[in-house]
Amino acid sequence: MCFTMSFGTKSVASSFRISTINNKTCAAPSSCATPGIAAIRAALAPQPNEEAKDAYFFVTDLKGSYYYARTLSEHSANCQKAAQVNKTVNTEK
Say how many C-beta atoms besides its own lie within 10 A of residue 78's C-beta: 21
Residue 36 domain flag: no
45-60 tens-digit pLDDT: 888 788 788 888 999 9
Residue 84 domain flag: yes
Residue 63 domain flag: yes
Counting the structural domains of the chain, the total is 2
Residue 72 domain flag: yes
Residue 85 domain flag: yes
11-27 tens-digit pLDDT: 455 454 555 454 555 55
pLDDT for the residue 25: 52
Torsion of CA 50, 51, 57, 63, to 10 degrees: -130
60-69 tens-digit pLDDT: 999 999 999 9
- Rounded to the nearest integer, the mean pLDDT of the chain is 75
CA 63 vs. chain centroid, Å, equals: 18
Q: Which residue range forms the structural domain that includes residue 4?
A: 1-30
